[in-house]
């Protein structure tokens, strides 16, 4: 008889069955990551996905990082900061796009997608309402696995990138509103806030999520009178609890919000549009009845906006006036404070990439990490996001079924 080991844990010898050594499962095989960070278009985007400190940690753990020359300059990180941390600085953008993993803040342009090689991993924002069908199809042609920042979830089932950027965007929105109420930006010359003997400015906030909370904190700190509207009573209660004070809050009702818009100096749109798509909470007719010189800042513009008169703009042309109301609608508003935003992004991507390396690569990590899977919208060239598929009329497939096939 053969001495071949059986699944029972015993072998058959001359004297009968004998116990054998237990076959333990071997540990995961760690994979070295080769990460490329291209330079962003500084007119639209100033952030970078990894700080020099994060690069040092990743390199010390056996990974390679290639950074395009001056990629961190807009966030006030020099090439020497990165090279001293172990990154390799390259002049040619095509060298960056040869890396296995591309970490980019803004979605790549069509020209940049042409530089991709097949079967790469792309981490970037998506801003899908402002994307074209060509963008999605180009990624599919390159058989890329594309993961959006907006879709990533953590172990607490929260969106870490969205949350950190929302905190920054909420606070920044109030500072922007203050600028455009002042004479410096041809506003009506009103101080955002309140001083003794003068009626405080009124700020309406649409939504009661993270961005709304931080906008409310900033506005209250300046002395403004705020009014918060949301569909959810529980969110409104949570907001009041988090701010530790009573606020003017209301559920959405067209007549109620129309009444209060007439006296508003600032409107912050901080409402997630949800899976149902665009849902304008403020119509064009409502905007027409607002004060002349009032300011609208639509933080939901990356999802299509929650105000009917919102138009997606960029940092080099962010402001326009419609019906006498100043509009500021820029999707990547956090890049106005690029250094702070870059540190916040790095705090998410550094541990994420370390986990990917320990798991043996992105494909293996995707099988274990539900939160990472939630960010995937193209998998090995196949569209997996039904909402995008319906919008562009492109067939999509369930990611979990595809994962079983690869």
In angstroms, the CA 67 to CA 70 distance is 8
Question: Tokens 């042609």 sit at which residue?
Answer: 141
The DSSP output letter for 142 is T
What is the rounded distance in angstroms from the CA atom of residue 193 to the CA atom of residue 278? 32
Phi first, then psi, for residue 20 (nearest 5°) are -115, 170
Reply yes or no on whether 185 is catalytic. Answer: no
Instruction: Supply φ then ψ for residue 41, to 5 degrees.
Output: -70, 110
Cross-strand partners of 13: 16
Collapse the DSSP code of 161 into the 3-class scheme (helix H, G, I; strand E, B; otherwise coil) and give the result: helix
Catalytic residue, chosen from 127, 230, 265, 369, is 127
The reply to whether 302 belongs to the active site is yes
Distance (Å, whole) CA 209 – CA 230: 9
Q: Can you read off the two tokens belonging to residue 62?
A: 């056996």
CB contact set of 151 (below 8 Å; sequence gap of 6+):
126, 159, 374, 375, 376, 377
- Rounded to whole angstroms, the Cα distance separating 187 from 292 reads 10
DSSP E strands: which ranges in 287-358? 295-298, 319-322, 325-328
**168 class by beta-carbon count within 10 Å (0-12 exposed, 13-18 middle, 19+ buried):** buried
Residue of 230, 265, 302, 369 marked active site: 302
Distance CA 9, CA 295 (A): 74
- Where do we find the tokens 């961005």? 211
Helix (H) / strand (E) element for 12: namely strand 10-13
* Closest C-alpha to 13, from 22, 5, 23: 5
CA distances to 97, 296, 369 from 363, rounded to whole Å, are 19, 42, 10
- Report, as residue numbers or ranges, the catalytic residues: 127, 302
């Amino acid at each position: 008889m053969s001495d071949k080991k059986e699944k029972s844990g015993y072998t058959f010898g001359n004297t009968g069955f004998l116990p054998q050594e237990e076959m333990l499962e071997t540990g995961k095989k760690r994979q070295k990551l080769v990460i490329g960070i291209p330079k962003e278009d500084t007119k639209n985007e100033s952030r970078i996905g990894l700080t020099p400190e994060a690069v040092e940690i990743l390199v010390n753990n056996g990974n390679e990082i290639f950074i395009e020359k001056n990629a961190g300059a807009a966030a006030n990180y020099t090439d020497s900061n990165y090279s001293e941390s172990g990154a390799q600085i390259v002049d040619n953008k095509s060298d960056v796009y040869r890396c296995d993993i591309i970490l980019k803040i803004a979605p790549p342009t069509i020209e940049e997608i042409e530089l991709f090689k097949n079967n790469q991993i792309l981490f970037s924002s998506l801003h899908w309402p402002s994307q074209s069908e060509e963008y999605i199809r180009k990624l599919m042609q390159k058989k890329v696995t594309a993961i959006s920042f907006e879709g990533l979830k953590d172990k607490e089932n929260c969106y870490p990138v969205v949350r950190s950027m929302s905190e920054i965007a909420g606070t920044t929105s109030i500072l922007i509103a203050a600028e455009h109420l002042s004479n410096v930006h041809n506003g009506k010359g009103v101080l955002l806030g309140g001083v003794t003997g003068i009626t405080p400015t009124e700020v309406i906030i649409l939504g009661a999520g993270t961005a709304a909370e931080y906008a409310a904190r900033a506005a209250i700190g300046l002395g403004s009178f705020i009014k918060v509207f949301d569909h959810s009573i529980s969110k409104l209660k949570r907001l009041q609890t988090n701010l530790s004070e009573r606020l003017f809050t209301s559920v959405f009702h067209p007549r109620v919000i129309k009444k209060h818009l007439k006296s508003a100096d600032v409107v912050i749109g901080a409402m997630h549009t949800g899976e149902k798509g665009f849902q304008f909470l403020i119509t064009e007719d409502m905007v027409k009845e607002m004060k002349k010189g009032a300011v609208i800042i639509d933080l939901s513009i990356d999802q299509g906006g929650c105000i009917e008169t919102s138009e997606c703009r960029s940092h080099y042309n962010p402001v326009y006036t419609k019906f006498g109301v100043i509009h500021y609608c820029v999707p990547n508003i956090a890049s106005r404070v690029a250094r702070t935003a870059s540190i916040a992004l790095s705090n998410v991507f550094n541990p994420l990439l370390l986990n990917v390396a320990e798991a043996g690569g992105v494909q293996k990590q995707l099988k274990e990490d539900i939160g990472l899977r939630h960010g995937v919208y193209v998998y090995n060239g196949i569209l997996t996001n039904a909402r995008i598929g319906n919008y562009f009329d492109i067939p999509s497939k369930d990611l979990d079924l595809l994962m079983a096939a690869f």
